[in-house]
Amino acid sequence: MTDSTGREAVDSFFDGLGKLGYDPMLRGVHGSILFDIAGAGRWLVGIADGAVTVRRSELVQADCVAEVDVPDFVKLVAGELSVVTEYLQGRMKVRGNLGLGVVFRRLLPAPRRSAHATGISV
């Protein structure tokens, strides 16, 4: 994947998220998550009782801040990687309200299991 392809995938994800408007899985959730995607920019995702807003931002403060590089973020939103695994392996840094980061996982596809992990031979 080229740098521009990765940035386009990041832009596409946040554009789609911004068009979501409301997600019932986020009802009762309030807060902001700043995604600092190295090499692609920053996006501020606001959640107010299920209503989702997204905008590019130069802010460095939010209730939760997630830092990750473009290739890993693209794999996360494609369901190729797990947020938890990325965090535990230090490839994604999260600070602030970790509960918001966990809630945000609901908007991502479930990680696909590899044939190796499931014991399926191909």
Number of domains in the chain: 1
Is residue 9 in some structural domain?
Answer: yes
Residue 120 falls within a domain, yes or no?
no
Q: Name residues whose C-beta falls within 8 Å of residue 27's C-beta, 6 or more positions apart in sequence.
A: 49, 50
CATH number at residue 102: 3.30.1050.10
Q: Output the pTM of the full model.
A: 0.84
Residue 116 belongs to some domain of the structure: no
Sequential DSSP letters for 35-48: EEEETTEEEEEEEE
Please give the single-letter amino acid code of residue 115: A
pLDDT per 10-residue tile (average), the chain, 122 residues: 81 93 92 94 95 90 94 92 90 93 80 52 34
pLDDT tens digits for range 47-65: 999 999 999 998 778 999 9
Per DSSP, what are the bridge partners of residue 33?
Answer: 45, 64
